[in-house]
Amino acid sequence: MIVRISEIPDEGLQVDSLADLGAVFPEAGWTLDAVGLHIERRGGDVVVTGSFRATARLQCSRCLEPLVTRVDPEVDVHLVPAPGVRHEKVELGPDDLELDFYQGDTLDVAGLLRSEMDLALPMKPLCRADCPGLCPVCGANRNVTACVCEVRSVDPRLAPLEALRRQNRP
C-alpha cells in the first residue's frame, strides 16, 4: 500500500484493513494476521503508530527444523523527508533511533511493516528453549535421535592457537 503524504488528512489516516495492504511479505508462509496503524502528518514529517500481528515460518537455529513464530510488535516510527545526495558523514544522536526516511511524496506502508517485522523476529529462533541441536560429529538431530558419538578434541589445525591461549592465561 502506497500512501501519498500530501493526501493524508489533517486528522490522520487509519489503516485497519488487511485487504487494503495487499501482499506484504514475499516469503512463502509469512502472513499478516492483523493491523492497526495510524498515519499522521506533522508538517513535512510523518508519524506512524499502532501495532500489527504476523506469522513467520522460520528454522530453528540449533536443529534446523521448521517452526512457526508469531510476533505482535508495537509500531512507533517518525519519518522525515530523505536528505538530498550528500557525501558528508552525518552523526546520529540518541533521539534518531526511531527516525526513518521517506522518498518523494510517498510512503510504502507494506515496506514499513516488513522492516518492523524484521526487527521483531528473534535473532536465533528456537523450536524450544532446551533444543539440543545437531550432533557436531554425525549431524543427527538430537531431538529425534539419542546420539552416542564421541566428541572429538580440539581440531589439530587449531592446536597452536590453543597452546597460545594456555600460555597467556594468568
43 falls within a domain: yes
**Is the confidence at residue 35, as pLDDT, over 70?**
yes
Number of domains in the chain: 2
What b/e readout covers 128-141, taking b as 16+ CB neighbours within 10 angstroms? eeebeebeeeeeeb
Average pLDDT score over residue span 101-129? 88
**pLDDT value at 96 more than 80:** no
Q: Are residues 39 and 97 in the same domain?
A: yes
**Which pLDDT band, with edges at 50, 70 and 90, does 131 fall under?**
very high
C-alpha cell at 162: 590453543
- The mean predicted confidence, pLDDT, of the chain is 85
Distance of CA 110 to CAs 25, 32, 74, 142, Å? Answer: 8, 10, 15, 39
Does 94 reside within a domain? Answer: yes
Full domain range(s) for residue 166: 132-170
Q: Are residues 42 and 91 in the same domain?
A: yes
pLDDT tens profile 55-77 = 999 999 999 999 999 999 999 88
Q: Domain for residue 127, yes or no?
A: no
Whether residues 153 and 110 share a domain: the answer is no
Instruction: Give pLDDT, residue 85.
Output: 59
52 and 14 co-located in one domain: yes
Q: Are residues 38 and 106 in the same domain?
A: yes
Cα–Cα distance for residue pair 170/17, rounded to 1 Å: 63
Instruction: Report whether 15 contacts 21 (CB < 8 A).
Output: yes
